[in-house]
Amino acid sequence: MKEDSNNMERRPSGPGQERRKPMTRKILSLLIIVACLAVFPFVVENRFYISLINQMLIYGLLAMSLDVLLGYTGLLSFMHNAYLGTGAYMVGLFLLHVAPSSLWVTLLLGIMGTLLLALPVGWVQVRTGGLAFALLTLAFGMMFFTVAWKWYTVTGGDDGLMGVPHPDISLFGWVLGSTGDPVAIYLLTLVVVLLCFLLTWRIVNSPFGAYHLNK
Amino acid sequence: MSTAVDILFNSLVLGGVFLIVAIGLNIIYGLSRVMNLAHGSLYAVGAYASVTLMSFGANFFVALVIAPFIVAFIGLVLERTIIAPVRKRSIVYTLILTYGLMFLLDGLIRYIWGNEPRFVKLPLFLQDTLPILGTHYPVYRLATLVIIAATMVALMLFLEKTKTGITLRAASTIPEMVSCLGINMKLVHIGAFVLGCGMAGIAGVVAGPLYSVDPTMGHEMLISSFVVIVIGGLGSLRGAVFAALLIGLVQTLAEFFVTDLAMVIVYMLMAIILAFMPRGLLGEGRFE
C-alpha cells in the first residue's frame, strides 16, 4: 500500500525531475533519434519496414496524446481512438468528395473538424471524473464506432473508404513528393510527429501544463 | 396488437439478459470497487462453453448448470492472478488491466472456437411457439424469462437469507466494519468476483440460443450492461432491475423503428444520465 502511493506520486512529478537533467543532453538525444529516423528510409529501402516505422510513429503520436490526458490530468479515456478515426475519415472524405489535390487544407480541416467534434463531447465528459469519466468515454466511443460502422452511405461501413486520392506534398509551389510514395509520406509523418512532440513538450512545461503538479 | 405483444415480450427477454450481466458487474463493483471491463468477454465464454458442452452431447439444461461454473472458475483464476495484485491501487489500474483482459479473452475465443458464428441446438420442445395473447411466441424465449426470474429469486434469497449473503451486503456498505468483525475481506472479494462471473456465465448460456454465438457478442453486451448499471446507479441492485427493463424496452423499440442506429440512442441515453444525473435515476449510485 505504501509503495503504491509512492508510485502514484512518482508519475506526475516525473517531468519536474527530468528538468534537472542537463537540457543540452536531452536535445542532443532527441536530435540523434530524429536523425536516425530521417535517414532510415534511405538506408533500408524495403517499403514494408518504411510503412511499419511510419505506423509506429503515428501510433506513438496517439499514445503521446493519450499521455497528456491520462498521465498529466489522470483522466482515462477509452475513446481516444475515436478521434483518430474521426480525423482520418474527415481527411478521407474531404479528399474524395471536395478537393482531391489540396493536402494542407485537408490536414488543417481534419484537425479543426476533430477539435470541433471533441468540444461538445469533452464539455459533457469533464463534468465527471474518475470512473464515471472512463465509462462515459466508453459509451461515446461505442457511439462513434456505431456511426462509422452503420452509416454505410458516407463511411462505407466495414468496406471503408475506397480510392482515397494521393495529393502531392507541395510547399510554396515546390512539389516535394506524392503522398502515394512511402518515403515521402514517411518523412511527412516524421515532421508532423516531431512538431507535435515539441508542441506537447512546450504545453506540459508551460504554466497551463503545470496542472498536474497541483494534484 | 400482436406486434405490440411481441415487442413487450422481446423487451422483457432482452432486459432480463441485460439484468443478469449487469447484476454480476454490479456485485463485483459494489463489493470490491473493481470495474470489470472483461465482463462481456466472460459472458461470451459462457455461451461458447455451453456450445462445447452440447457438442459433447450434454443436454441444454445440463449445460446451463455446468457452464456458469466453468466461467466462475475462470473468474477465480483471473481474480487471484490479475485483479488481486492491483486492488489497492487507483481504479484506473483495474480499468486498464481489465480492458486488456477483454482483448486477451476475445483473442483466446477466436483462437479456440474460430471466427464463424455458432448456433445452439435446442431440445425439440423448446423450438416450438406458443399461442399467447393473440401472437405465437417462441417457447424458448418464455423459458428464458423463467430461467432469469429463477436466477434473480435465487440471488435475492442468497443475499437476503443466508449468512454469507448478509455478509456480502454488509461488506458492500461498510467494508471497514465487516473487516473489524473478523471477516476476511480477501474471501469477500474473491466471492464477489466469482459470483459476478458466474452470473455472466448464466447470461451467456441463456443468450446463446437467442442470438448467434460469435466472438464479438460480448462487446455490445458489456456496453449495454454499463448503460444499465449507470442508469440504475452504480452498486444499486434495485436500480439495476429497473434500468434493465427500461433499457430492454428502449433498445427493442429503437431496433424496431430505426434499426441501424438503435444502439446510438441507447448510448446517448447513458451519456445524458451519466453527465447530468451521475447517481443514476433512483439516486442510489455510489461513485468512488
* Amino acid code (one letter) for B131: P
CA distance B181 to B162: 17
Asked if B271 and A140 come within 8 Å (Cβ–Cβ), the reply is: yes
Q: What is the rounded radius of gyration, in angstroms, for the C-alpha atoms of chain B? A: 19
Query: Using the 8-state DSSP alphabet, how is residue B121 labeled?
Result: P
Q: Does residue B224 lie in a domain region?
A: no
Residue B205, domain extent: 2-214
Q: How confident is the model at residue A8 (pLDDT cuts 50, 70, 90)?
A: very low
pLDDT confidence band for A4 (50 / 70 / 90): very low
Exposure letters B210-241 (e unless 16+ CB within 10 A, then b): bbebbbebbbbbbbbbbbbbbbbbbbbbebbb
What distance in Å separates the CA atoms of residue B63 and residue B54, rounded to the nearest whole number?
7
- pLDDT score of A157: 77
Identify which of A127, A130, A142 has the shortest CB distance to residue B275: A127
Residue B206, all three cell numbers: 441463456
* Closest residue in B to A126 (Cα–Cα): B275
User: What gap in Å lies between CA B63 and CA A42, rounded to an integer?
Assistant: 60
B208 part of a folded domain: yes
pLDDT in tens, A122-156: 888 887 777 878 888 888 888 888 888 888 888 87
Q: What is the pLDDT along chain B (288 residues), one digit of tens a residue?
A: 678 888 888 888 889 999 999 999 888 888 888 888 899 999 999 999 998 888 887 788 888 888 999 999 999 999 898 888 888 887 888 888 998 999 999 999 999 988 888 887 777 777 777 777 777 778 888 888 899 999 999 998 998 888 888 888 888 878 888 888 888 888 888 988 999 999 999 999 998 888 888 888 888 888 888 888 888 887 778 888 888 988 889 888 888 888 777 778 888 888 788 777 777 777 666 665
**What does the pLDDT look like over A147-182, one tens digit per residue?**
888 888 888 778 888 878 888 777 777 777 777 788
Closest residue in A to B280 (Cα) is: A132
Q: Tell me, yes or no, whether B105 lies in a domain.
A: yes
Nearest chain A residue (CA) to B267: A139
Calculate the CA A74 to chain-centre distance: 18
Count of structural domains within chain B: 1
pLDDT of residue A212: 62
**Do residue A130 and residue B287 have CB atoms under 8 angstroms apart?**
yes
Residue type for B63, please? A
Q: Is residue B233, in this structure, part of any structural domain at all?
A: no
Q: Which pLDDT does position A162 carry in this prediction?
A: 81
Per residue in A34-47, pLDDT (tens digit) is 888 888 888 887 88
Q: How far is the alpha carbon of A59 from chain B, nearest alpha carbon, in Å? A: 17
Q: What pTM, to 2 d.p., does this model score?
A: 0.80
Whether pLDDT at A53 is above 80: yes
Contact B89 A8 (CB under 8 A): yes
Length of chain B: 288
- Is the model more confident about B80 or about A19? B80
Average pLDDT over chain A, rounded to whole?
Answer: 80
Long-range pairs for B120-124: beta carbons < 8 A, 24 or more residues apart:
B120/B47, B120/B50, B120/B51, B120/B54, B120/B60, B120/B208, B120/B209, B120/B213, B121/B54, B122/B60, B122/B209, B123/B59, B123/B60
B109 in any annotated domain: yes
Name the band, by pLDDT with cuts 50, 70 and 90, for residue A207: confident
- pLDDT, one tens digit per residue, over B109-160 is 999 988 888 887 777 777 777 777 777 778 888 888 899 999 999 998 998 8
Identify whether the C-beta of residue B38 lies closer than 8 Å to the C-beta of residue B45: no
> Residue A13 — very low, low, confident or very high, per pLDDT cuts 50/70/90?
very low
Confidence band for A214, pLDDT divided at 50, 70 and 90: low
What is the rounded distance in angstroms from the CA atom of residue B75 to the CA atom of residue B87? 15
Q: Which residues of B touch A (CB under 8 A)?
A: 35, 37, 88-92, 95-96, 99, 223, 226-227, 230, 234, 260-261, 263-264, 267-268, 270-271, 274-276, 278, 287-288
- How distant, in Å, are the alpha carbons of A12, A85, A110, A155, B212 from that of A90? 34, 8, 5, 10, 34
Nearest Cα residue to B78 out of B215, B187, B197: B197
Look-up of cell digits 437467442: B210
B148 located within any domain: yes
Would you say residue B166 lies in a domain? Answer: yes
Cα torsion through B220, B224, B226, B232, rounded to 10: 180
CA distance B246 to A92: 39
